[in-house]
Amino acid sequence: MTGLCGTPKCQSMSDLSPAAEILRDLIRCPSVTPVEGGALDYLESRLKPLGFVVTRKTFSSLNTPDVENLYARLGDQSPNLCFAGHTDVVPAGDETSWSANPFGADVKDGVMFGRGAVDMKGGIACFLAAVEAHIRAGKTLPGSVSFLITGDEEGPAVNGTSAILDWLVEQGETIDACIVGEPTNPDVIGDAIKIGRRGSVSGTITVTGVQGHAAYPHLADNPARGITSLVCALLCDPFDAGTKNFQPTNLEVTSIDIGNPAFNVIPASAIARFNVRFNDTWTAETIKNEIESRLVNGAGDKTVRPDPATGVRQPIDWKVQYTERPSHVFLTKDERLIEALSVAVEKVTNNKPELSTGGGTSDARFIKDVCPVVEFGLVGQTMHQIDERVPLSDLNVLTDVYSEFLVSFFAGNTK
């Protein structure tokens, strides 16, 4: 007998909680970006019997893979509280380096191993388990609950959450508040709620020189000099000291490439790639303006060795090209949403969570254009790693937090 994902279907184990059973089944769906892998089929099979109206949408765009997404809603009243997440996962890497099958969901010493255990099939499993328990206990919700699940968060993020949100708006569907189940906690569940994110801009600097023989530099123009000056200009001074709600803006040069294997050839070009995470001091446009101002200054730098023949520093022939879709900085200020989640976290964990804006980006950057959004999930220490794993006890704690959050959020809407 096989499960929905074509893997051997194990008998339910008495020591697995409902959340752990759901996570086990999801991990066994090999949904590596952008492959659906049976994960959405599985979620649909659990949501429909609960009364959810389930819609599956596949979106396509030029030069990006097709992606299947799921939107499911229970109820037709407002407010509509949405849980957003992704079933796609990053590749397992060298599977021989894992101590367990990355798509086997093996449990060892109370810990479940598998790709996506933390990022973020575990969060989906816990919220679904919380909703199932709420419904089966006969509890009513003065409003609606929905799931927005994509298969494109770990990929280009073009045909996933952004596309299905556009479709929902076209359909007249309203989401009033959203929680994203990304792994937000650094050490233990209850550490942090994400209430915003810094923006992100990535770009590539290209310096064009003149290729030539290393022994005849006067006949060439070495682009290594130019790329060195430009990179130093980007990194030399801080952008800001941070703000009340955000860390300082940070730019990292992620690669410098010349691609020249020969020792005696002056290369023709050099490139450098960078990413900047910016706070609310900046917008995507103003941070680009600052970057370009620094590059202009760097291009006029006279400290790098001048032309050996003339003693004059040659002008740098450079350009910068940005990736098409920057992520914009945002901060959620919805007191009801933040308070409801904070109350739930503190009640279950006895921890007062930090309201954080640290870390990278997530699909919350798209959702914030539609409704207030917060993020809360598992501990993220092993996400994307070999032997990604989650303690079963953490699944139970997160399920309890989500259960309390459902009660807390809707309590203010009781008629």
The pLDDT of residue 48 is: 98
CATH 3.40.630.10 fits 18-197+329-411, yes or no: yes
Lowest mean pLDDT among 17-21, 225-229, 409-413: 409-413
pLDDT given at position 302: 66
- What pLDDT, in 10s, does the model give residues 269-324? 999 999 999 999 999 999 999 999 999 999 987 666 666 666 666 789 999 999 97
**CB 109 within 8 Å of CB 94:** no
- What backbone torsions phi and psi does residue 317 show, to the nearest 5 degrees? -90, 100
Is 359 or 282 the better-scoring residue by pLDDT?
282
Any bridge partners for residue 86, and if so which? Answer: 150
pLDDT at 369: 95
Q: Determine phi and psi for 364, rounding to 5 degrees.
A: -60, -25
The pLDDT of residue 311 is 63
What are the structure tokens assigned to 264, written together?
A: 């005696």
What pLDDT does residue 10 have?
A: 42
The answer to whether residues 203 and 273 touch, using CB atoms and an 8 Å cutoff, is yes
Mean pLDDT, residues 148-165 taken together: 95
Residue 12: its pLDDT value, please?
42
Average pLDDT, the chain: 93
Residue 398 β-bridge partners = none
Query: CA-to-CA distance for 251 and 368, rounded, in angstroms?
Result: 24
Whether the per-residue pLDDT at 9 is higher than 60: the answer is no
Q: Catalogue the active-site residues.
A: 88, 153
- How buried is 189 (Cβ within 10 angstroms: 0-12 exposed, 13-18 middle, 19+ buried)? buried
Q: Where are the domains of the chain?
A: 18-197+329-411, 199-322
Q: What is the mean pLDDT of residues 132-154?
A: 94
Q: What percent of the chain has pLDDT over 70?
A: 93
For 199-322, give the CATH class: alpha beta
Per-residue pLDDT for 365 more than 80?
yes
d(CA 111, CA 390): 6
Q: Please answer whether residues 84 and 124 qualify as being in contact, where contact means their C-beta atoms are separated by less than 8 angstroms.
A: no
Output the pTM of the full model: 0.87
Candidates 348, 350, 366, 368; CA nearest to 408 is 348
**Is residue 360 over pLDDT 90?**
no
CA angle 40, 44, 50 (to 5 degrees): 150
Which residue type, as a one-letter code, is found at position 248?
P
Q: What is the model's pLDDT at position 290?
A: 98
Q: Give residue 1's pLDDT.
A: 34
In this prediction, residue 413 carries a pLDDT of 55
SS3 state at 20:
helix
pLDDT band of residue 15 (cuts 50, 70, 90) is confident
Q: Determine the pLDDT at residue 361.
A: 84
CA atoms in the 13 A half-sphere facing the CB of 11: 2
